[in-house]
């Protein structure tokens, strides 16, 4: 059995690595619950593969509503809690192949619904993805998890 991943990596290192990819028009490190971005300014807010790293979902949903224009959409894509329930925590691999664990929190769909509706959002769409043959074409090491739910996506709408 492989050694468990080490915890954490300095934020500065992650940010520098992201900047080094030159894939972003603007890159800022901030708080998902208090971004500092202009209110009522965005048609779409996306929160991708990060909800499992937040202990309390409510502030993230409130911030999304603050950022969205009336009728705007909040897209939240997450690592399926089924993996966390089975002890498969999120991690990344350093250049040398060493696995680094990332603090993870399990959130049920009902917790998302409670936080979103409490912030004034309405569910527009919900999808789940399972590991299938198409998935395995690009990630063959995931074969032991065939049929497991791997991710989910919510699309929420701000009223108005």
42 part of a folded domain: yes
Specify the DSSP class assigned to residue 133.
H
Distance, CA of 50 to CA of 10 (rounded, Å):
17
53 part of a folded domain: yes
1 part of a folded domain: no
15 part of a folded domain: yes
Please report, for the domain that includes residue 23, its CATH number.
Answer: 3.40.50.150
Whether the CB-CB separation of 87 and 126 falls below 8 Å is answered with no
How many CB atoms within 10 Å of residue 97?
Answer: 6
- Residue 4: the pLDDT is 47
119 part of a folded domain: yes
122 part of a folded domain: yes
Specify the DSSP class assigned to residue 87.
T
- Residue 10: the pLDDT is 52
Burial of 61-89, coded b for 16+ CB within 10 Å and e otherwise, reads: bbbbbbbbeeebbbbbbbbbbbbbeeeeb
* Digit-coded pLDDT (tens) for 70-100: 999 999 999 999 989 998 888 888 888 898 8
**Domain extent at residue 95:** 6-158
Q: How many distinct structural domains can be found in the chain?
A: 1
88 part of a folded domain: yes
- Residue 29: the pLDDT is 80
33 part of a folded domain: yes
Q: Which stretches of the chain drop beneath a pLDDT of 50?
A: 1-5
* Digit-coded pLDDT (tens) for 57-73: 999 999 999 999 999 99
Distance, CA of 156 to CA of 119 (rounded, Å):
11
């Amino acid at each position: 059995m492989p050694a468990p991943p080490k915890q954490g990596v300095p934020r500065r290192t992650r940010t520098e690595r992201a900047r080094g990819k030159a894939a972003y028009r603007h890159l800022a490190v901030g708080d998902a619950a208090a971004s500092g971005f202009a209110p009522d300014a965005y048609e779409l807010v996306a929160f991708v593969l990060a909800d499992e790293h937040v202990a309390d979902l409510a502030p993230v949903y409130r911030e999304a509503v603050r950022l969205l224009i009336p009728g705007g959409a909040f897209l939240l894509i997450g690592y399926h809690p089924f993996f966390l329930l089975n002890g498969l925590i999120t991690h990344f691999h350093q250049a040398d192949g060493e696995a680094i664990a990332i603090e993870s929190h399990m959130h049920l769909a009902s917790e998302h619904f409670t936080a979103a509706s409490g912030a004034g959002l309405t569910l527009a769409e919900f999808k789940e993805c399972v590991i299938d043959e198409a998935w395995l074409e690009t990630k063959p090491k995931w074969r032991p998890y065939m049929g497991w739910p791997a991710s989910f996506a919510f699309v929420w709408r701000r009223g108005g």
